[in-house]
Amino acid sequence: MAEPLLSVKGLAKRFGGVNATSDLHLDVMPGEIHAVIGPNGAGKTTLIAQLSGMLKPDQGTIVFDGADITRLSAAARSKRGLARSFQVTSVFRDFTATDNVVLSIQAHSGHSFRFWQPVRKETELYDAARRVLDQVGLKDRAGELAGVLSHGEQRRLEIAMALATGPKLLLLDEPLAGMGPEDSARMARFLGTLKGRYTILLIEHDMDVVFALADRITVLDYGQAIASGTPEEIHADPEVRRAYLGEDSLDEEGGATGC
């Protein structure tokens, strides 16, 4: 059996008296889309923060691509190929869409202690940025300031910035957050195109999307993984129904699983 790309063992994080993460175990295999679901406050965002290095866990280890990264900074993790998107859109609002992506690429092509040469002359950065923007369907908006893009466009730029770092693993924190039906459908289609090409850890509230895309699903409750398995297994798991989905909501929401 292949080695997991990301392996979380015994992760724990407390805030005051609250266990945001407690003895969490999680494996993400290469090439899979692994969804993490759970009710609000289950600790999904805290988990992403610890995986990406913005929060230091109290206990446990995070092994990524064969190396223990538990104590590494966010920047160092990004250098090793771990990229994240943010639930709350977190683009550089006073930069153009292109420059947002250029920054991501720049971070991964040598150091930036270059004080003299105008960055505009590094055409390979801009060519690469254009390709990424094309991929997320923002080519026509490349010259706009990120702050004036629509919400849906900003969400796509958000993902473009993560993709542009050339990641081995993508941590997507609710990519559909705050989107209308049209934008959601578009984003879901786009995420579908990433399937098989990227290893993804996906946090998402939209169950239709989760059950349609995920190879495996882990269910969090009170900071713990209470179940992990294929969408079918999760769908059938009585404990998951009780703890999270409510008695009948799974039938409604999961109804779209087949499509």
Q: Which one, 73 or 193, has the nearer CB to another protein? A: 73
Task: Count how many residues are written for the chain.
Answer: 259
Q: Which one, 101 or 207, has the nearer CB to another protein? A: 101
Question: Which residue's structure tokens are 């026509």?
Answer: 140
Residue 134 corresponds to which tokens in the numbers above?
């094309």
Least Cβ distance, residue 100 to another protein (angstroms)? 9
Question: d(Cα 172, Cα 163) in Å, to the nearest integer?
Answer: 11
For the chain, the distance separating the N- and C-terminal CA atoms, rounded to the nearest angstrom, is 30
Q: Which one, 116 or 189, has the nearer CB to another protein? A: 116
Residues that bind another protein (CB under 8 A): 16, 52-54, 73-76, 78-79, 83-84, 86, 90-95, 99, 102-104, 106-108, 112-120, 122, 161-162, 164-165
Least Cβ distance, residue 90 to another protein (angstroms)? 5
Residues 6+ apart with CB under 8 A from 110: none
Question: d(Cα 9, Cα 141) in Å, to the nearest integer?
Answer: 42
Least Cβ distance, residue 111 to another protein (angstroms)? 8
Least Cβ distance, residue 174 to another protein (angstroms)? 15
Q: How many CB atoms lie within 10 A of CB 60?
A: 18
Q: Which one, 148 or 236, has the nearer CB to another protein? A: 148
